[in-house]
Structure 1
Amino acid sequence: MHINILPKRYLFLVVIFASIFSFGQEFTPIVTQFTKKDYNASNQNWSVAQGKDGIMYFGNNQGVLEFDGSLWQIHQIPGNQIVRSILIGKDNKIYVGSFEQFGYFERNNCGQLIYRSLSEKLRKYKMQNDEIWSILDFNGTIIFQSFTSYFTYKDGVVKGYRCPFTFLFFNLSNHKIYTHTDQYGFSLFDLKSNTFKSIFNGTLKKPVASVLPLDSARSLLVTNSDGLFVYDGKTIIPFKTEADNDLKKSEINRALISPNGTIILGTILGGVTAISKDGRKLWALNTSNVLQNNTVLGMCCDKNNNLWLALDKGIALIHLNSSLRYIHSFNPSVGAVYSLSYDEPNLYIATNQGLYKAELSISKKDIRNLQLESKIKGQVWSVDQFNKQQICGNNEETFDVSPKGISKLSPVKGGICIKEGIIHGKDVLVQGTYTSLCIYEKVNGTWVFSHAVKNFLNPIRYIEIDYTGTIWASHLHQALYAIQLSPDLKKIENISTFNSLDQKHRLPINVFSVNNRVVFTDNTAFYTYDDIRKKIIPYNELNKSLGYFSHAHRVCHFKANLYWFIRSGEAALVQVKPGAIKVLDVVHYGLFLNQAVDDFQNIIPISENECLFTLDNGLALYQNNNPAKQNNTANLKIKSIQTSDDEFKEKVYLPLTTDPIPTTPFKRNNILFTVFYPQFNNLNNIIFRYKLEGLDKVWSEPTVASQKVYRYLPHGEYTLRVEVQTKDGIKLSATSYTFEVDPPFYLSTAAKILYFLLIALSGYGIYAYLHHSFQAKKEKIKQEQEEIRRKEIEKREKKIIALQNEKLESELTVKSKELAESTMTIIKKNEILVTIKEEVMNQKKVLGTQYPNKYYDKLIRLLDENLSSEDDWAIFQTNFDRIHENFFRNLHTKFPELTSNDLRFCAYLRLNLSSKDIAHLMNISLKGVEVGRYRIRKKIGIPSSKSLTEFMIEFKE
């Protein structure tokens, strides 16, 4: 690295020459801010360093803060102490220093950071309020330094040394260690002898905060409040800069020289300042523009020349490698910027507050002498340059602006847009306003207002004129007009109105020109006009090549075939060639702290390679030929593979190496992959996509997440493939990881052996069981056959007995019938005897005494003795009960109130005997029979509608 320091005699002239320029505002680098809400740790950060893998590490009040481009993570040290200092060793160990504690983190084979304390290895030294403020690597010896002590670590041995005086930070320059001590002032430290040697020079009045190598022989000495000096080993001379006055008030705390030779100074009170190698102030960042805090506690340039600041409040990433520079805000405010025009060195700025004029130096990247043009106030929509003539469209009128003065050009209010073209062979300007189309023509080489087109009253936002002279004008809110003027350009000869581009949706339509071809957009896709078919058609080639930038709402020409396509939140620089449309770069408006003028973003070229982005009270400078954009690549890497059995409660990490192929048990088949892509130039333009071969058939949808989880993976071998790309689809890097999920135990080799043994055992068991079952079945069959034979014998015996019983029953039935018949015969006999008795009694009445009583009584006695007796009834009852299935018993059980005489009456009813027969059998009158019927009906409770005889015949229970 080589920095040219001007000879002493020229330094004074440089400072005087710089002072004659009035105060200006610099285009400063883009800054990305990180607050504690972003990284979820303490506000205060003390140091910063980058690992060989590209990951950034910060010394934070809560520990070591890690950022891989996507994820933040905090790593604590014993006692949860503040980490003051960080150094990445050549062995990629992360050496850290804290209060009475120092050591290092290193990653294990699973990618996890493990802390090893070195202070615990101290022998013959007791730490007493030692706080490690800086760490450096001196020829393989790691030196941890506090303000009164220092500690060395080499070959596993840790030693401590205490000094009787205090000193500031150790600085390494040209293989020597320098520091500032209370006793010796600026000193050279000899590690071998552990001594400090004073470098006496009366030039240094303030302590040296930092020593930076300028070349192999010279060092830059940075004092905290007395400026910069050059030391060549013998003499110390001042190094004058344009920022000396500010730096002396700000108290320099940290310093470094970037890879491109820029001197960067971090201060306690004034943020950070960049100085060129010839002492010119390049830019300054502090709370007056973009920083959230003015106290810089640590600095580091990463591999891509981005500058990281560890601040007293938060972290700042300064994009030194970016194509963009930025004026955060004008003071006083100019309002929202709508358009620009640059006529070197004059810059005309159209804003909602009026037209501003300033002097722009592209080489110095600053704007000076900013002032409002008093004649042009209020909303200014456009300022355009035509042949060195500035035409400004104002809310009230249109003006001609030149360095000599401002004159009114047109009385028509609200000039919004203006375009040059050829209509009917005439070179004209066509201006869209709030109401009219205005025509300008050249008079003596100067554009002058000619007239407003008749019978056209519409507010126009954009205008393009095609090769046929057709004016394409987009309405401020809706519709598109294709206008053909009369030869005198004063009236409309033909006008076509398009309310929709896709014939479905009525959306605002904008019109632009790309490579001399008129294109239209409704914010969903681009269209063009087909001259042959005379209709608007989709511009498929452009839409396909632009990807999601086909939703752009504005197109701005940069140069040649380069165009800016602007959509919500971002702009793409696109090279448009026939058959080769390519997105070259993407700029996110989020980099400008959301200062975009929504729907009115504009990008205006100011030179062959520079253009300006319009912002709300600000501007951004884009450099297309920025050499710092080189070496802007990184490699996508696997950071960790975390496995778990259930919702990642039990964390187990797989090794990052795949030789041999890592495996995880089936019970831990939930896997969380974490990848990182340590490229910090455009954090908002990075997306990832994943594909797990063995499971996924296609790639996942692109996502900003650097973590991917797969749950409940089946057993088998898998390969995770990951790609990182820009949002417009440009592939940046890729990586892969092969691993295996072991089969579940029931499919493992041990399980298969166990299954074989179980099968063999089961086979033997089945054989034994079957043999035993066969024998048992055989015995059972034998017993069953014997039982069958026994049952057959019993059955035959029962059948014989049944036949015998049946025979007996038949005989009994026959006999019962015979007895019943004989009983009926007796009944008939009784009827005859009753008849005879009545006849005898009648004769007695007639004969009286003629019929001797002794004969009469004897005859009556004989007749009564031969009538039915109780014995006859008992025989009848027994025979009847056998025939009619225990009729009397069942009837008496159900109706216990029935008397024996009632039961007898019921038996006669069941035999369906007539009342007369019943009267004869019971030796009662017919009236007595009816009384008996009524008495029985009442006792058994049957309704009058039911026949008592039928009830007795049907009764079985």
Structure 2
Amino acid sequence: MRKWLLSLMAMMAMPAAAQSPWQRAVVNYSRQSYHSGNQNWQIGQSAEGWMYFANNNGLLEYDGANWSTYPLPGHTKVRSVLPVGDTIYVGALGQFGRFVRNAKGRMVYQELSGRLGEKEQINIWHIHRIGHDVYFQTDGTFFINDYKTRMASHPGIRYSNVVYNRLYITTSKSVSVLVGNQFIPLPGIDISQTSNIVAILPWQQQLLFVTSHKGLFLYSNNKLQPFSLTADISNMQLSCAALSGTTLALGTLQDGVILIDLKQHKAERISTNNGLQNKTVLSASFDADKNLWLALDNGLDCVQLWSPLRFLNSRQSPIGSGNCSVSYQGQLYLGTNQGLYAMTDGKIRFIEGTGSQVLCLDTIGGQLFCGGRQFFLSIKDQHITHYDNRGVWAVRPLAGHPDVLLTSSYWGLRLMRRSPQGWQMAEEVKDAGISAKTLYIEEVTNAVWVANKEKGLYRMTLTPNLLRVSKKKCYNSATLPKGDNVCIAKIDGEMVIASRQGLFRYDAAHDQLVCHTALEERLEGHTAYTFIQQAPDGNIWYATDGTMHVSNGHQRHSYLNNCLMEDFESVSYTNGQQAVIGTEDGFALLYTRQGHDSTRTIQPYIRRIVIGNNADTLYYKAEQPRISWANNSIRFEYSANSYDPSQPVRFSYWLEGSNEQTWSLPTRLHLKEYTNLPEGHYVFHVKVITPDGTMGSETCFEFTILPPWYRSWWAYTLYIIAIMAAIYALYYRIMQSRQQLIKEKDEQIENLEEEKLQIELRARQDELVRSRMNVVRKNEMLQEIKKTAVSINNGLNEENLPAIKRRVVRLIGQIDTNIEHDDDLEAFRDSFDSVHHNFLKTLGERYPQLSHKEKMLCAYIRMNLMSKEIAPLLNISIRGVEIARYRIRQKLDLESKANLTEFLQNL
């Protein structure tokens, strides 16, 4: 977590001049802040504006929000750094190489020194770029681009730099410039005169030499001349230098950094007594915003040279936290938690008798009133008058009562009356027993508004003699609950109440508080306001979220993020160009009309994109990713290349394709997370809101959340196939069912027909049997008749009845004819074959060896008649039937195990 400290930069005319108590801002980054090595050797800034440092633990990166360290193989110390586009070149002890980003944005080290570190000891102290070539400087030579190309040895190189696109080096013997592939000494330079050169810089088409002990020199037209300064820096033990415009920064080994204006020949010094963490400056560099970065022996510091803020801190001036301030009679009075101080001509003195927390400073009628927890006094013409030791929150005049003042305290309201001897404490206002931290009096009605956290917000009407409250009403409600301090001020002639629930105004016609929407739209919108005030020039000052803002109606500026005194926010004005703001550490002086001379646009950058719960990282410069449904939670981490914590940038974001219809409210958070995003195409937009409130640049990231597998295209394809298969299966099932029904109906019909046929067959079989039985009975009867006739015939005498005999003989012949009449047999065979599918015909064709009676026996067997039923039909005995069956089996060649009945039924 970045911890920064706002500090001074003392204005001084060296070697000795009175320090101004107002000091520049210095942002301190300790090793606990950036979590890396203590020593930092060189500084570089990439095209994106990110800062890079050669650190003992590796390459140190800072993007304005996050610190990252990228170690080298072997964890060697990095001594030099040079950002070139997206590539960061580094030089270390025993190796050199470069860092490039992979597809996911992670830094990947590519070694360029090969195996040189194993063969020879190399230390890379500086890295330069000329055209497309990168030069790595060691103690005695240069490597160009990689280890394969090196220049001729030049032992004892102490320093090198590229000036006017030419490479210069210094040694113990000369200063040389690279011409072709050789270093040529510069003429006209006596190296004993310059001693140790720590920097060669461009200045007005000349070379500016900075030496460690002998000051500055200008080299032009082959001549070296001292650069005269008002300040004496000859014994400063300089270690490094950097130049931006006319500002020269000189780092020292024992006394911080010296800033010199080369035009005005003025000098300023910053050391541990006024802001730095460490006196030893190893490297100095200006960033694109012209802030000065210092690489220290222990930590990093950033001097906000172009910040419009100056600070009076308890670290340098132990006056305490700033509660209130006012400019009075040429002096600046400062009320703190330790008492009242006065600043005159840059000197601060304590006001005796104010040894407790100051609560208010008000100028009324040319007199300064100061209230504290344990005192109440006034100052006029350097004369101090003490009134009370009980403490006062506020003092206000009453319209129409020039000789009366109204004060608020822990015990309520009290009057002050003016007498020939001056102001004196007078009566307490009855029925107004409210500890009133906030006090406001309406100009026309003299209605009194008081407020505190416990009691709430009240409007009181006083009696004509001001001694009693005649009417009192509380205005707290659900929209303005108790529990927070409110601030009441006149804005554009109208009373405005600032609260954590927004801005309100008093509607006298309806005697109620209403939200001041119009003013909120001019300022920060509907948010929590802890302070509001209008300056004499019409600008509106207000505090939200621990930050002070000022708006002129067209632009807004933000200052002092997380530096304000909670419940004691205050602003006073020394002249038309300066404002004094109370802070936790003291006070800040704001030059309201000082511009910020920066040639760089603040850009937002999406640094890291984390998807799902497994911390998978995507790189925002990669092609549009397609993210699975299982990872439909995504977190964006972004930053901006701004390094002034006192004037923080804010961000606004919008996820196009989601339910977000517009940009978010400004926020200082550097991340945004979305969870359970539905499938679809999205574009995440984020833009910067600069400290002046204007909308800055924007960047975006496109991505697609894929549908879950059950809603993917191939799943829908499977669904279609499955539906079609189901439809086909249903159709097939229906057709099968129909066919089954038809089959069942056919089977039923067949069964019915079969049953019918069986019935008919049985009927015809019965008919055949009956017919055959009739034939048998007829034969039997005829046999009996024949026997009778024979007996008659045998009993007759030839003498008696010869004629009868002839007739009986003729009768017997007719009976014989009827007993075995072929027509009956033929009719039986035809009927049997029609019922049994030409059984007798087939049997005769296949087995012609069978006799007529055997065929008839086969027919009876097929009809499932028993032997005892067959015997009379054939006019034989049962034994004769069994013998006939046996003969048939032999003629049919049936095996002993074969069933004759089944064989005949299957024939």
Shared fold (TM-score greater than 0.5)?
yes
Identify the residue that residue 163 of structure 1 maps to in structure 2. Answer: 154
Q: Does 1:585 align with 2:562?
A: no
Q: Secondary structure of 1:309's partner?
A: strand
Residue in 2 that maps onto 1:82: 77
Q: Which amino acid aligns with 1:148?
A: G
**Is the Cα contact below 8 Å between 1:179 and 1:208 reproduced in 2?**
no
- Counterpart of 1:897? none
Alignment pair present for 1:392 and 2:370: yes
Is contact 1:549–1:572 with CA below 8 Å preserved after alignment? no
Aligned to 1:98: 92
Question: Cα 1:695–1:46, aligned 2, differ >3 Å: closer, same or farther?
Answer: farther
Q: Does 1:147 align with 2:143?
A: no
Q: Which residue pairs with 1:372 in the alignment?
A: 350
| Cα displacement (A) at 1:200 | 3.3
Separation in 1 of the partners of 2:505 and 2:683? 46
Instruction: Name the CA distance, whole Å, in 2 between partners of 1:755 and 1:610.
Output: 73
Change (3 A) 1:699 1:476: closer
Q: Does 1:28 align with 2:54?
A: no
Alpha-carbon distance between aligned partners in 2 of 1:504 and 1:766, rounded to the nearest angstrom: 69
Q: Which residue of 1 aligns with 2:399?
A: 422
Q: Following the alignment from structure 2 to structure 1, what is the Cα–Cα distance between the partners of residues 239 and 719?
A: 73
Identify the residue that residue 470 of structure 1 maps to in structure 2.
Answer: 446
The Cα shift of 1:760 comes to 11
Q: Is the 2:394–2:407 Cα contact (8 Å) retained in structure 1?
A: yes
Distance 2:442 2:731 in 1: 97
Q: State the alpha-carbon separation in 1 of the partners of residues 586 and 332 from structure 2.
A: 14
The aligned length equals: 745
Q: Which runs of 5+ in 1 are unaligned?
A: 1-14, 361-367, 576-580, 797-957
Report the alpha carbon displacement of residue 27 of structure 1 after superposing the two structures with TM: 1.5
Partner Cα separation in structure 1 for residue 511 and residue 720 of structure 2 = 81
Does structure 1 residue 181 correspond to structure 2 residue 171?
yes
Instruction: Tell me the CA shift for residue 686 of structure 1.
Output: 2.3
Cα distance, 1:231 vs structure 2: 4.0
Distance 1:149-1:87 versus aligned 2 partners, 3 A rule = same
- SS at 1:551's partner residue? coil
Query: In structure 2, how many angstroms separate the alpha carbons of the residues matched to 1:379 and 1:641?
Result: 49
| Deviation digits for residues 501-527 of structure 1 (CA, Å, limit 9, x no counterpart) | 668733445432222322334543333
708-717 or 378-387, which deviates more: 708-717
For the Cα contact (< 8 Å) 1:463–1:471, is it kept in 2?
A: no
Aligned-residue offset at 1:617? 4.9
Q: Does 1:689 align with 2:674?
A: no
The 2-side partners of 1:354 and 1:393 are apart by: 10
The SS at the match of 2:114 is helix
1:313 aligns with 2:292: no
Amino acid at match of 2:351: E
Residue 571 of structure 2 aligns with an amino acid whose one-letter code is I
* Cα drift, residue 767 of structure 1: 11
Check whether the contact 2:496–2:505 (CA below 8 A) recurs between aligned residues.
yes
SS in 2 for 1:333: coil
Find the aligned partners of 1:331 and 1:503 in 2 and give their Cα distance.
Answer: 44
Displacement after TM superposition at 1:99 (Å) = 2.0
Relative to structure 1, is the Cα distance of residues 757 and 654 closer, same or farther in structure 2, using a 3 angstrom cutoff?
A: farther
The C-alpha deviation readout for 1:837-886, integer Å capped at 9, x for no partner, is: xxxxxxxxxxxxxxxxxxxxxxxxxxxxxxxxxxxxxxxxxxxxxxxxxx
Give the distance between the partners of 1:475 and 1:741, measured in 2 at CA.
Answer: 53
Judged with a 3 Å threshold, the aligned counterparts in structure 2 of structure 1 residues 72 and 783 are, in CA distance, closer, same or farther, namely farther
Q: What is the root-mean-square deviation of aligned Cα atoms in Å?
A: 4.9
The superposition leaves residues 369-419 of structure 1 with CA deviations (integer Å, 9 ceiling, x where unpaired) of 2222345444433344457644433556544435x6433264575243234
- Which one of 253, 258, 262 corresponds to residue 268 of structure 1? 253
Counterpart amino acid of 2:210?
Answer: V
CA distance in 2, matches of 1:463, 1:472: 7
Of the candidates 192, 195, 198, which is equivalent to residue 181 of structure 2? Answer: 192
For residues 401-442 of structure 1, give each alpha carbon's deviation from its aligned partner in whole angstroms, at most 9, with x where no partner exists.
Answer: 35x643326457524323456325x48654444555344659
Deviation at 1:611, TM superposition (A): 0.8
Match of 1:293 in 2: 278
The answer to which of 745-754 and 603-612 deviates more is: 745-754
1:761 and 1:552, CA in 2 relative to 1: closer, same or farther beyond 3 A?
Answer: closer
**SS of 1:627 mapped into structure 2:** coil
What letter matches 2:423 in structure 1? F
In 1, Cα distance between the equivalents of 2:668 and 2:337?
A: 37
User: Contact (CA 8 Å) 2:26, 2:301: kept in 1 or not?
Assistant: no
CA drift of 1:326 comes to 1.9
1:252 aligns with 2:238: yes
Seq. identity, %: 23
The 3 A distance-change label for structure 1 pair 471 and 145 is farther
2:655–2:682 Cα contact (<8 Å) kept:
no
- Counterpart contact for 1:483–1:494, Cα < 8 Å: yes
Kindly tell me: are residues 298 and 514 of structure 1, through their superposed partners in 2, closer, same or farther at Cα, counting changes over 3 Å?
same
Q: Which residue of 2 aligns with 1:647?
A: 614
Whether the 8 Å contact between 2:377 and 2:388 is mirrored in structure 1 is: no
- Do the aligned partners of 1:421 and 1:469 also contact (CA within 8 Å) in 2? no
Gaps of 5+ in 2: 1-10, 761-907
Contact between 2:557 and 2:691, CA under 8 Å: does it hold in 1? no
How many Å separate the matches in 1 of 2:695 and 2:108? 33
- After superposing the two structures, state which structure 1 stretch, 758-767 or 264-273, moved more: 758-767
Change (3 A) 1:340 1:760: closer
SS class of match (1:393): strand
Distance 1:667 1:534 in 2: 57
SS of the residue 2:173 aligns to? coil
Q: 1:711-753, CA deviations, whole angstroms, 9 ceiling, x for partnerless residues?
A: 7877654433334447998643323344456788999899999
- What is the CA–CA distance in structure 2 between the aligned matches of 1:503 and 1:702, rounded to whole Å? 23
Cα distance in 1 for residues equivalent to 2:558 and 2:260: 29
Deviations 1:690-712 (A, max 9, x none): 41426866767876555556678
Name the CA shift for 1:601/1:652 in 2 (closer, same or farther; >3 Å).
closer
Q: Which amino acid aligns with 1:437?
A: R
Asked whether the equivalents of residues 430 and 440 of structure 1 are also in contact (C-alpha less than 8 Å), the reply is no
Alpha-carbon distance, 1:573 to partner? 1.5
Match of 1:449 among 423, 429, 449: 423
- Say whether residues 1:605 and 2:573 are aligned partners: yes
Inter-partner Cα distance in structure 2 for 1:762 and 1:465: 83
CA distance in 2, matches of 1:643, 1:501: 44
Residue 360 of structure 2 is matched in structure 1 by 382
CA distance in 2, matches of 1:518, 1:550: 18
SS in structure 2 opposite 1:235? strand
Q: Which amino acid aligns with 2:224?
A: T
Q: Does structure 1 conserve the Cα–Cα contact (< 8 Å) formed by 2:290 and 2:598? A: no
Is the 1:323–1:629 contact (alpha carbons within 8 Å) kept by the matching residues of 2?
no
**Letter in structure 2 aligned against 1:468:** V
Equivalent of 1:302 in 287, 296, 303: 287
Matched, 1:736 2:700: yes
2:56 equivalent among 39, 58, 61:
61
Matched, 1:49 2:44: yes
Please show how residues 618-767 of structure 1 align to structure 2 within 5 Å: 618-628=586-596, 633-639=601-607, 647-648=614-615, 656=622, 673-682=636-645, 684-693=648-657, 706=670, 717-725=681-689, 731-740=695-704
- Paired residue for 1:324? 309
Within the alignment, does 1:223 sit opposite 2:180 as a pair? no
CA distance in 2, matches of 1:599, 1:694: 39
Query: Which whole-Å CA distance do the structure 1 matches of 2:633 and 2:219 have between them?
Result: 61
Please say if 1:138 is aligned against 2:130.
yes
Letter in 2 for 1:584: R
Q: Structure 1 CA distance, aligned partners of 2:368 and 2:512?
A: 36
Secondary structure of 1:542's aligned partner:
helix
In structure 1, give the amino acid aligned to 2:280: T
